Amino acid sequence: MRNALSTLSATIVLLFFGCLDQKFYQANHVIYGAPANYNLEYEEVLFSSKDGTRLYGWFIPAMGDAIGTVIYFHGNYGNLTYYFNQVCWLPSHGFNLFTFDYRGYGRSGGTPDRVGIYEDCVAAIEYIISRRGIGNGKIFVFAQSLGGANAVAAIANNEFPGIGAIALEGTFYSYRTEAQDAMISSARKNIGEMPCLSMQIWPVSFFGVSDCYSPGKVIDQLPPVPLLLIHCTSDSIVPYHHGERLYKQAKQPKQMWTIKECNHLDVFTHKQYDHEYRQKLVDFFKNSGREY
């Protein structure tokens, strides 16, 4: 009986891992737009992940002489076409732009999973480093939400030459903490306040969500290049405390933009903020070789 109960408990935990972990990946194959909609030239790129999964991306050259190349890691929903409005302005400011889809997203092959997507992100950085005409010290990373978690894990666990600066927006501290926050928010929305709600949800998030490749575990192992964290205080998807914890854990050189009265990934698309913060991000990348 004891062995049977142990087997049943292990099975339930494994089912939780598969079910809750997959909630982080809301991929689809819908085409929301293309660089051509913004009068941008682009190259369709096919490259392979470590296990041979074929991945799809866009390389958009800078308008005029390139300052450098930005690798963009998108969030958990849709595919690269959904997020292109977040970064479509970078080529006009002198940056090459490379954006790609994780496995299972858009036109990339495979099915999303934590380890596979981590390897996809490593492969994307390796592709840009190996691409002809990309100079050392002129590669910049811009990553949002889930993309930030992926980027931090990939860069912290590997030695990549040429990365000059890293910018993260709306990134969570850990998969487990983000799952717990999401479940608490959903419970409050649907059933209202309950005594000791977080304590009741904690076992589900702890046993049901893997914390592997969480950025909070490795952000202090990033290379000593300028790091920028961007977070809205009223972010309803990834609460502000995630950004605070990441900033505290990270090593210098680092800075954080705390932005009030905006929501998740609003900063570079909302008319109230976009012009100011787009220019600030450009300046951050341009000045990344200087002390601040």
What distances in angstroms separate CA 137 from CA 9, 45, 74, 226, one per listed residue?
50, 22, 22, 12
Question: Could you tell me which residues are beta bridge partners of residue 256?
Answer: 229
Among 51-60, 61-70, 194-203, 267-276, which is the least confidently predicted range? 194-203
Q: Which of 151, 157, 28, 13 is nearest to 81 (CA)?
A: 28
pLDDT of 56 > 80? The answer is: yes
Query: Domains plus CATH for the chain?
Result: 2-286 (3.40.50.1820)
The span from the CA of 186 to the CA of 239, in Å, is: 13
pLDDT of 194 > 60? The answer is: no
Residue given tokens 């952000």 in the structure block? 219
Helix axes 175-191, 240-249, angle to 10 degrees: 160
**What kind and span of H or E run contains 233?**
none
Summarised one tens digit per residue, pLDDT across range 225-263 is 999 999 999 999 999 999 999 999 999 999 999 999 899
Summarised one tens digit per residue, pLDDT across range 94-129 is 999 999 999 999 999 999 999 999 999 999 999 999
The span from the CA of 134 to the CA of 260, in Å, is: 36
Task: Find out whether 83 and 99 touch, Cβ atoms under 8 Å.
Answer: yes
Among 32-46, 123-137, 148-162, 195-209, which is the least confidently predicted range? 195-209
Q: Give mean pLDDT, residues 11-28.
A: 64
Question: Could you tell me which residues are beta bridge partners of residue 227?
Answer: 166, 254
pLDDT of residue 19: 56
Query: In angstroms, how far is CA 14 from the centroid of its own chain?
Result: 25
Q: Which of 56, 22, 49 is nearest to 179 (CA)?
A: 22
**What kind and span of H or E run contains 275?**
helix 274-286
Among 75-84, 197-206, 232-241, which is the least confidently predicted range? 197-206
Question: Could you tell me which residues are beta bridge partners of residue 55?
Answer: 47
pTM of the model: 0.88
In this structure, the chain runs to a length of 292
Between 134 and 92, the more confident residue is 92
Exposed, middle or buried by CB within 10 Å (0-12, 13-18, 19+), for 2? exposed
Helix axes 2-22, 197-208, angle to 10 degrees: 90
